Amino acid sequence: MSAYLQRLIEYAVPCLIFWGVLGISVMSDRSRFRNCIYLLFAALSTVPLFCAATGSHAAGTAKALTTLIFTALLSVPAVLVFNGVTMFHKEGRSLANMLSLLLGIVIGIGEVCFFAFFVLPLFFSEQNAQIVNMGMRVLLFVSLSVMYVAVIFASFMVYTVLLQFIPTRRDFDFIIIHGSGLIRGKEVSKLLSDRIDKAIEVYGKCSSPPILIPSGGQGGDEEISEAEAMEQYLIGKGIPGEHIIREDRSKTTRENLLFSKEIIDKKEDPKYCALVTSNYHVYRALSICREIGLKCTGIGSHVALYYWPSALIREFAAIMSVRRNFLILMLGWIICLMPAMYSIMTSVVQ
């Protein structure tokens, strides 16, 4: 066996294992946070395999990939800040709409701290040795912490996109349409109409007409419930009223799914169910479905590109608020941060 082939096999084995574990986990349950971590490891294991596959050009390929990744990371804060400004102009001033701007600033601070870590030793002297040493540790701690969370968020983001391309069954007995706020108290917004249009598309592909469940209660500033507005929209698009059952009591995502499940449970089998919501929201919605025992397939509708980053940040924050997921995040932070800090500090001191 040639050295090239042997090296290729050495890198291919862990790569195939990680992708295999990811595939099995996704088939078992698409809504698990562990899938984001498996995807991260699978992607990381693919990089050395790709470099090894280029043979004698492996070193050059590694340098090119490193430069590409490094450049992409440096551009992230600028992209997020620009997106935050766009959200401010198009969606108005609110904390939810400023999340991408805030995250861009935080990641930018982390990157500045990382560069400052290597610059600070230039000011080292016997008089300020303790201060410089402490400053380097603080800078490294901040930068690595920010980078760690950013990498986990990136893996979550990529997995959310990947969910949209996983094949789903075609025939459903029920299609839940997740509600959203109304315009002027009674009109369907663009975000909500995209969800409804996607549900109508799924409805049309079913061999026998499923029951559509528009789900959403009436907010304090709304004249009618979201479910009623969605039903009117569906009927206006030619969907027969007898194929629609309103769920108009819910105020939260969990209630959307709980009350919709009550409607479904009253019907006789079979109960193949689809949940249609915005693409950024599919992952969290499926997580709640798993918790309440609602078996369904998540289907994402289109969302304007500028709206997506802030929405995804909100979803990530909500997912991390679950104790199990937060503990996984913190455990990974401890495992990754401490060895990295020790290794970098040791190499810099030497």
CATH code: domain 174-303 is 3.40.50.620
**What is the band of 215 on the pLDDT scale with cuts at 50, 70, 90?**
very high
Residue with token string 């294992």:
17
DSSP bridge pairs for 176? 213, 275
Mean pLDDT of 6-10: 86
Specify burial of residue 163 (Cβ count, 10 A radius: 0-12, 13-18, 19+): buried
pTM, to two decimals: 0.83
Specify burial of residue 136 (Cβ count, 10 A radius: 0-12, 13-18, 19+): buried
Structure confidence by residue, pLDDT tens digits, 243-268: 999 998 998 889 999 999 999 988 87
Residues 124 and 23: their CA atoms lie apart, in Å, by 51
Q: Which tops the pLDDT comparison, 341 or 238?
A: 238
Q: What is the 3-state secondary structure (H, E, C) of 167-186?
A: CCCCCCCEEEEECCCCECCC
Q: Mean of the per-residue pLDDT values for the chain?
A: 86
Within the chain, residue ranges assigned H as helices are 3-28, 34-53, 58-91, 99-119, 129-163, 190-205, 226-236, 253-265, 282-292, 308-320, 323-349
Please give the helix or strand (H or E) that residue 297 lies within, else none. Answer: strand 297-301
**What is the band of 167 on the pLDDT scale with cuts at 50, 70, 90?**
low
Domain boundaries, the chain: 54-163+323-349, 174-303
**What is the band of 297 on the pLDDT scale with cuts at 50, 70, 90?**
confident
Distances, alpha carbon 233 to alpha carbons 199, 255, 316, 328, in Å: 12, 22, 31, 42
Residues 231 and 179: their CA atoms lie apart, in Å, by 11
Residues 121 and 136: their CA atoms lie apart, in Å, by 8
Q: Specify whether the CB–CB gap between 70 and 63 falls below 8 A.
A: no
Structure confidence by residue, pLDDT tens digits, 127-148: 777 887 888 888 888 888 898 9
Q: What is the pLDDT of residue 230?
A: 92
